[in-house]
Amino acid sequence: MASLYLLIPVALIFCIIAVRLLLWAINSGQYEDLDKEAWRVLMDEDAKPGKQDADSDQQDRHPNP
C-alpha cells in the first residue's frame, strides 16, 4: 500500500509529460503533411542533362574490368 503513494504520482507525472510532448509535436507542425515523404520515395525524377553527361565521362575513363 505504501508503494502506491509513490507510484500514483509518478504515473501522473509521466502522463502529464506525455500529453505535453504530444501537444508540442502537434503545435510545432510535426504532423503536417505526413504523406509527402512517403510519396517522394515513389516519384521518379528525370536526370538532369548536365549530370548525365558527366556520368558518361566517368564511365569512359574507368571501364569495368
Per-residue pLDDT averaged across 53-60, rounded? 57
Amino acid at 42: L
Checking if the pLDDT of 29 tops 80, the result is yes
Task: Report the C-alpha gap between 34 and 25 in whole angstroms.
Answer: 13
Model pTM? 0.52
Question: Are the beta carbons of 25 and 31 closer than 8 angstroms?
Answer: yes
Task: Report the C-alpha gap between 30 and 24 in whole angstroms.
Answer: 9
Task: Report the C-alpha gap between 32 and 26 in whole angstroms.
Answer: 8
pLDDT at 49: 61
